Amino acid sequence: MERRKIGSLEVSVVGLGCNNFGWYIDEAATREVVNAALDAGVNLLDTADAYDSGRSEMFIASALGSRRDEAVIATKFGSPMSDELKGARPEYVKFACDASLKRLGVEYIDLYQLHWPDPETPIADTLGAMNELVDAGKIREIGCSNLSVVQLRAARAAVGEGQRAFVSAQNEYSLLARDAETGVIPECAAEGMSFLPYYPLHNGLLSGKFRRGIDLPAGSRVAKMNDERREKLLNDRNMTIVEGLSAFAESKGHTLLELAFSRLIANPTVASVIAGATSAAQITANAAAAAWTLTDADIAAIDAITNAP
């Protein structure tokens, strides 16, 4: 599988989102997914301390075992673990890092990310703490998630002399949610940062499993949503786009899943597309989806279907 750079790290263009671990699948199933990912050439495992109160990190430790050196581990801090354990204060950043290292059973974290902006803490203070962790050998690179363009610029301006800046930004991005293309992605490109899309399949809507007039797949995340949220997701606009993209993919001998990944990967600022999986079959399919290299004409046709700016 193609590899791209996140700072000094080399990552597969398809990454494994680990938010399902603990919440949706148990330790044994996690082991199957992680091993299937590594076998398929997927080396980026993206998690967070808040995913099932740390169990995602613990399940990753169990799953990796002796294969630690095959993986690039990315985790995050800042989402509430409790009323007190949250945010981006320097003392908490260091505490959270040590806690993640223990749960993951590793000596260092490859990519440590601020999960959400913390309006109560100056970003310079957070960056200072993260740089101290790099100097201590506890993390290799620093990144962020869910920051706006304004917040990214503020973070860049707050980097002190000799300090490391964020090397990556992780935000929602899919063919049904393309706001990043006119904001955060161009900002990342201008600053030499890598972009990591999450929710690339838009809650599974771009997986190819959902069609108008067909019953929802049993056990799917969409099927478990409340009526209001499900109706908002399966609206006419989204379903019309899904039908158009499906027809285009099929006309080229490919699947909607392959199109959904390949269009994002076609952007050189995208380092790795982060997608979750609850089975070995899912991660294997995700890994294979990256093989379609789109032509300029393909990209133009896809963008016309989604009415991209």
Q: Rounded mean pLDDT of 296-309?
A: 91
Instruction: Tell me whether residue 63 is in a domain.
Output: yes
Instruction: Tell me whether residue 149 is in a domain.
Output: yes
Instruction: Tell me whether residue 49 is in a domain.
Output: yes
Model pLDDT, residue 282? 95
What's the CATH code of the domain at 270?
3.20.20.100
Domain housing 167: 3-204+257-293
Model pLDDT, residue 308? 65
How many structural domains compose the chain? 1
Instruction: Tell me whether residue 142 is in a domain.
Output: yes
Model pLDDT, residue 224? 67
Give tens-digit pLDDT for 223-280.
667 677 777 787 889 999 999 999 999 999 999 999 999 999 999 999 999 999 999 9
Task: Decide which of 1 and 74 is more confident.
Answer: 74
Selecting among 51, 112, 173, 199, the annotated active-site residue is: 51
Instruction: Tell me whether residue 137 is in a domain.
Output: yes
51 carries an active-site annotation? yes
With a cut of 90, say whether residue 219 has pLDDT above it: no
Rounded CA separation 221/203 (Å): 7
Q: Rounded mean pLDDT of 65-72?
A: 96
Give tens-digit pLDDT for 90-111.
999 999 999 999 999 999 999 9
